[in-house]
Structure formats: C-alpha cells, structure tokens
Amino acid sequence: MEPTVITRFAVIAAATLALAGCGESEEAKIETKRYIVVSAIDCADNTGLDYDRCVKLLQTAVAQHDKTAATYPKLEACESTEGEGRCERAGEKTYRARVTAFQLTIGAKTAAVPLYAPTTNKAGLRTAANDEILPDAETITFTESAADASHFYFKEDPNKRKKRQ
C-alpha cells in the first residue's frame, strides 16, 4: 500500500520539527560584547580587534556621523541645542555635534556608531537618537579613555561636593 499525501506530509513535518530543535544556530553561540572607545588605538588596545579592523569600524561610524548628524547654520544655534563646547564646524557655514566616542558591538555582526556628549549636565554619552549611555552601565565596557571622555563635560555642583566632604 502506498502512503497517502497526508501521511507523507505528516512524516515530513515531524522530521522538520525534530531537526529544528537540534543544536543552536551559530549566531546564538557567539557572545555579543559592547565597548565604548575614543580612537582606533583605544579600540585595538582594549577590545581584542586588530588595529586595521578598528580603523575600518570607526571610519564607518564617522561616515554615519557625516551623513546623519543634525547641522546648524551658526555655532550659537548648535551650542544652544548641543551644549557649550560640544560642536564642530561641518562646512563653511554649518556646525554639528562633535563626536566624543564610539560604541562598538562585537559579536555575530560587528559594528560601530558615533557617540556624543550629553545635552544635560550629566556624566555619560548619548547616541544620535539621544539614548543615554552611562559610565557605570554593567553591559558595556568603557575603556579608561572613554570613561574620562564621558565625564569631560560634566560639571559637578560645588555645593554638592562640599556636602559629601
């Protein structure tokens, strides 16, 4: 007796389900790590990536910054949005936020994105979408240089400092 179409379908479906549960995908096995770095040398010294790979990743992040960063017609307009001392000249008559550091994601897919100083008086960094990245984040490794950069624009209230002493 020849198996019916339904029987064949049931056998194929059962085999597919059984095989689907075997092992994990390669992507699931690769651990993803995130780092905050300030330069290609900082990247190579702290992430396990070689210098040339770091250069390429950061060049891609800078190209992203060049294409997507908000621009302002005057330095004053930029600084009123981004904060004093946080802008750079982007063209003859345009200004934009200055890149402060880079976030590297290393895993199945490795990428870098530019980071900027916060627009508030807080230690940390922010993405172009204004997502905050704090230096004490447990899921991200800040290099020593990146930790310093994340505090560069932070101005602690001297009255608070006196209270702690």
pLDDT given at position 68: 92
The pLDDT value given to residue 60? 97
Phi and psi dihedrals of 56, rounded to 5? Answer: -65, -40
**Alpha carbons 148 and 68: distance in angstroms, whole number:** 26
| Cross-strand partners of 161 | none
Main-chain phi, psi angles of 65, to 5 degrees = -60, -45
**CA nearest 43: which of 128, 109, 112, 107?**
112
Query: Is the pLDDT score of 69 beyond 80?
Result: yes
Question: 61-87 burial string, b = 16+ CB within 10 Å, else e?
Answer: beebbeeebeebeeeeebbeebbeebb
Q: Would you state the pLDDT for residue 161?
A: 40
Instruction: Kindly report, residue by residue over 104-136, the tens digit of the pLDDT.
Output: 999 999 999 999 998 877 788 999 998 999 888
44: part of which helix (H) or strand (E)?
helix 40-47
**Nearest Cα residue to 125 out of 34, 36, 59, 32:** 36
Task: State the pLDDT confidence band at 164, using cuts at 50, 70 and 90.
Answer: very low
Its pTM stands at 0.74
| CA diameter of the chain | 92
Task: Give the distance, in angstroms, between the CA of residue 37 and the centroid of all CA atoms in the same chain.
Answer: 10
